[in-house]
Amino acid sequence: MRCPNSMSAPELPRDGAARHPRDGTSRAAKGGLDRRALDHLLGFMTSLADARLRKAFSAHMNGLKLRPVEFSILALLSTNQRVTQKKLCLALDTPAPNLVVILTRLQERGLLRRVRSNEDRREQHVELTEEGRRLADEAHALSLTMEAEALSVLTAGEQLLLFELLRKIAGGR
């Protein structure tokens, strides 16, 4: 009733002892508080990890004045063609009204343009400008190293595994 993890639990890969100390002392985690009541929740772990990675992002990207969503949009535009706002909304899981203001902001910076489609006059095709592509490339180069410190606690194999597992969760139908 109070044990972690609902599903049947095979062997822990490691840290089993640290998670379930036998002695009376509660595990002094971050801030001296026993966090075991929370760390059976994937959502808690992802939100902590996400916060950490957002800090890494802004530390490395503040020079380019790019927020995470803006970076994502530039990256998607640089590797896709005929991108409509609808598609961006789906790919980024962002409500349409929010995307509009983000795109307008990037457009006013001269990084992209909106071109009304001829096949379907309701659609806008979003495209990078020359300057937008330059910034996208620069940002991509930075992105290759910005998570290095956070990832340094994992081996290369663990990193790949983590990506695959998260992809399954995130993509999950």
Partner DNA sequence: TATTGTTATACTCTATAACTATA
Partner DNA sequence: TATAGTTATAGAGTATAACAATA
Q: Rounded to whole angstroms, how far apart are CA atoms 66 and 150?
A: 20
Residue 35 to residue 30: CA distance in whole angstroms: 8
Among 20, 36, 66, 98, binds a copy of itself (CB under 8 A): 36
- Among 39-47, 96-104, 107-115, 125-133, the segment contacting a copy of itself (CB under 8 A): 39-47
**CA-to-CA distance for 143 and 57, rounded, in angstroms?**
8
Cα 114 from Cα 1, distance rounded (Å): 55
Q: Is 127 a residue that touches DNA (CB under 7 A)?
A: no
Smallest distance, Å, CB 88 to a copy of itself? 7
171 contact, one of DNA, a copy of itself, none, CB 5-8 Å limit per kind? a copy of itself
Binding to a copy of itself by residue 90, rule CB under 8 A? Answer: yes
User: What proportions of the chain, in percent to the nearest 5, are helix, strand and coil?
Assistant: 55, 5, 35
- 143's contact among DNA, a copy of itself, none, with CB below 5 to 8 A by partner kind, is a copy of itself
Which of 22, 24, 93, 97 is in the footprint of a copy of itself by CB under 8 A? 93
Distances (CA, A) of 58 to 46, 51, 70, 108, 120: 18, 11, 12, 21, 38
Candidates 37-45, 85-93, 137-145, 150-158; binding stretch for DNA (CB under 7 A): 85-93
Q: Which residue shows structure tokens 């994992």?
A: 154
Task: Report the interface residues with DNA, using CB under 7 A.
Answer: 51, 54-55, 67-69, 84-86, 89, 94-98, 100-101, 103-104, 114, 120-124
